[in-house]
Chains A and B, each alone.
Chain A
Amino acid sequence: MIKDIFEGILKDKFATIALIVLIFIYFCLFFAEFIAPYSMNYTDRQLSYVPPSPIFTIDENGKLSKPYTYNYKRTYDEELMQTVFKLDRSKKYYLKFFARGEEYSFLWFIPMDRHLITVDNDGRLYLLGGDINGRDVFSRLLFGGRISMTIGFLALFVLFPIGLLYGGISGYFGGKIDMFMMRFAEAVMSIPSFYLLIILAAVLPSNMTSSQRLTLIVVILALIGWAGFARVVRGMVLSIKNQDFVKSAKMAGSSDLRIIIKEVLPQTTSYVIVAMTLSVPGYILSESGLSFLGLGIQQPDASWGNMLKEAQEYINILYRPWLLTPGFLIFVAVLSFNLIGDTIRDILDPKSKTR
């Protein structure tokens, strides 16, 4: 079945492109420490809101050269009340590939200090400029992406077991149990989801580390999503439970829970896959919405959502467009997920196959 899906995706041009884009993004995020020139919290106070470092390949004499960059020098214009960045053309910094830089743990345990791209120690390579604290936006995008792009999947891992089991039990037993369980699920669904989300996020205990906070946000996202999912599973289980193989398993004396888990739920796999791909982008967007309100991932940790928060100021949008890159990445990732999800749905929908 996985093979079917892959073949289907590869047949569709948009989906193929989307898949390549996503694989590329996840690849970069996975090797973030190596690709990023700096660590997530590397700060140069002189470079608050510095523009992206220009990279020159033809030098001032018009000759081709190894790529190099200059540092920015900050001055303050008292009259204009403005910080001015000027290129300091006295020293060139050549880009170095696979060179030594800040130390880090590659894949969380191998100590390493090689980076894909760096410059000499006193040079600064801010490929996408700096944020308010003088941190490298490009590096933070890579580290922040880890949170934004996995939060959806993490939520799904929490939500699916709950939803499947809840829907399975409800549908399998039917009757009063079904009636009560579904009323409860409907009640949860009746609360406008975004409101519930922000209320839950707002009541999070505050003395948490960022990883605890991330976990709780994941749980909250899951708590909101499970009801709708459980309802659909229940509907599918209702029709599955009367099929012969379920009946025979019952005759053989298997326990109810065993039948639900072993016989009934596997039948819903295709729906689960569609639901998964279609709901991941929703979670990415939710995270950005939460961060917009200051309820999501908190500083100094990065996520695309909380990086985009800085870009909301009018002045930043107009004068510091590099701060918009997290928004662009969210857009690309969500679009890719949607395109793939659509294609998978078309592939797995049994009715469309027959036509």
Chain B
Amino acid sequence: MAGLELKNLSKAYGQVEVLHDINLAIADGEFVVFVGPSGCGKSTLLRMIAGLEKITGGDLLIGGNRSNDLSPRQRNIAMVFQSYALYPQMTVAQNMGFSLSLERRPKAEIAQKVQEAADSLKLGPYLDRKPGQLSGGQRQRVAIGRAIVRSPQVFLLDEPLSNLDAALRSETRVEISELHQRMETTMIYVTHDQVEAMTMADRIVVLNGGYIEQVGSPMELYNHPATEFVAGFIGSPKMNFVKGRFADTVGATTLGVRPEHFAVGKADDSWQGTVTLVERLGHDTILYVKVPDAGVLTVSLNGQHDQNVGDTIYLRPLQEFIHKFNDAGRPIAA
């Protein structure tokens, strides 16, 4: 196990710099999630840590040792790929034991480690099967198993759940979190899904346009976003951003209100709007409300409500939860 340190790390393809001045320290045993929209550089950053992309600026320290020029093999890391990348000609057992066989470990030791990993991932009955004979979820487990048997210093996971269906995704999400708790190994997880980031991470690193926007625990990011971008990216449904007269009244360029931070109010102190769409989720009711001068706002009401499309509704933002941003998209202190 080891911690990582990224010092002024940058990546350029020719003249085009795609990652700029990345500074980040990841503690030993921490579960860190890189999150951001497509093209923000999160996968490139992960691949630089893995040794699959050349580092063009700055330093990468794994366990305190500068690792810029080390091959993936020398970094002692394991990676789970989005596409699983299982060797199709090998059985599950051979896939999982491949790295150990390259190290010329004794066959008995390889078999024992593979069996242990397979048992922990409920893959025991499939050890003699080829990847082509497995379901998507089983393949994903094999990919994780292949990483586990090496007992690496650092686990890297590149959008490992994106090829699974919704039900399997949430199930595997829990399993990965349990795995981390059991192994206590440093894990870096890349995703574009902020729900995955919020539910799994000790700390989240939000990337945008090749820069780190904010690093913090899920609740820090949710409650105290450092930028308008982070405020919009973290939280589901997304935060509402309102400009114009409503923002002016609180002295901000942009007023941010999370959908769950509206109360249905009375006519005198509230924003009047018309319901344009209703999503009934059972535990929550999501309303899309068109408010003059504010646009269409998303409102999440706890429990079941009887509003219908076309109804007039009065919304009151909860003052203690509103976010105020200036011209630069930075928060204005209360």
Q: Do A and B come from one complex?
A: no
B-binding residues in A (CB < 8 A): none
A-binding residues in B (CB < 8 A): none
